[in-house]
Structure 1
Amino acid sequence: MIYDTKTALVLRGHLAGWQLANVAAFLTGGLAGTTPEMMGEPYRDAAGRFYSALVREPVFVYGATLDELRRTHQRALGRSLRPAIYIEQMFKTANDIDNRAAVAAAPADALDLVGLGIHGPRKIVDKVIQGLKFLT
């Protein structure tokens, strides 16, 4: 099935494995929280036990430099998308209140982005992520 929407995560390439996983989880959760139509239906196994719903469509993960992240961020904002962001300073915090304070204190035109999550119409997201390569 091809969806009309697309979800993309753009992550800075130098991150440690645990950081990549952590940032990807935070960004996907943020996108799902503001875009409930991303979610599928709950799962049920053969014994009838229920499990949580998952994101309904593939999540494409790209690697990027800081400059590429900033360019992608500006493209997303310029197309009226509401991205999820994760900045370097958030690695030094331990809760949501401090995370939001770190973002609020960061210069808007020079965010130290380590991750960006984007969800929207497929054609628009493709333009926003143009030139990026899958994370390897």
Structure 2
Amino acid sequence: MRTDQTVAPAATASAAPAPGGAPVRFDTKIAVLLREDLEPWQRLNVTAFLVSGLGTVSPEVVGEPYADADGVAYLPMFRQPVLVFEGTKELMAAAHGRALSRSLPSAVFTSDLFATGNDRDNRAAVRAVATDRLDLVGLAVHGPRNAVDKVLKGARMHP
């Protein structure tokens, strides 16, 4: 993950919800791109790891805490959907380059991380490989809708 990124502007709904429950559209998008050859358990694991970093650098994507009718408190979650896409190894590399060129907050998951067991070793595994040689299996990005759409050009929605 890049550490020299600027925090994206606050995510706002572009319009108030219309009467009758029309959907709210957000000015920003949270998206995860997964390599298409991952096993199902890997897809879930990679997605969870990738999105965990977004709220720390873009706190505006996190909503208010939840509580049930009995007053039991629950953690806050993202206030907008996370869209999950898939693509080839080549598409992963291209999307990564486009995310970097647009300075979008992003998180990466490389194939090397499947062989590590802790955060220190994860960071060391990424640090050991040059940017253009990372064997990416997952990428999460957050930013203006149109910029994220351009990063994900060619990707398809996860089935």
Q: Do the two structures share a fold, i.e. TM-score over 0.5?
A: yes
Structure 1 residue 71 corresponds to structure 2 residue 71: no
> Which of 1 and 2 has higher RCO (CA within 8 Å, sep 6+)?
1
Q: 2:131 aligns with which of 108, 113, 122?
A: 108
Partner residue, 1:32: 55
**Identity of counterpart residues, as a percentage?**
49
Post-superposition Cα deviations, 1:41-90, rounded to whole Å, max 9, x if no partner, equal: 11110111110011110111000111000000000111111310000000
Gaps of 5+ in 2: 1-23
Post-superposition Cα deviations, 1:86-131, rounded to whole Å, max 9, x if no partner, equal: 0000000000000000001112212100000000011111111122
How well do the aligned residues superpose, as a CA RMSD in angstroms?
0.8
For the residue of structure 1 that corresponds to 2:142, the secondary structure is strand
1:32 is displaced (CA, Å) by: 1.7
Structure 1 residue 49 corresponds to structure 2 residue 55: no
For the residue of structure 2 that corresponds to 1:15, the secondary structure is coil
Instruction: Return the index of the structure with the highest Cα Rg.
Output: 2
Q: Which amino acid aligns with 1:68?
A: L
Partner residue, 1:129: 152
For the residue of structure 2 that corresponds to 1:67, the secondary structure is helix
- Separation in 2, partners of 1:32, 1:113: 21
Partner residue, 2:113: 90
For the residue of structure 1 that corresponds to 2:34, the secondary structure is strand
Partner residue, 1:14: 37
Q: Which amino acid aligns with 2:37?
A: H
Q: Which amino acid aligns with 1:67?
A: E
- Separation in 2, partners of 1:68, 1:32: 25
Check conservation: 2:89, 2:137, Cα contact below 8 A: yes
| TM-score, normalised by the number of residues in structure 2 | 0.83
Q: Which amino acid aligns with 1:9?
A: V
Q: Which amino acid aligns with 1:55?
A: F
Check conservation: 2:91, 2:154, Cα contact below 8 A: no
- Counting matched residue pairs gives 136
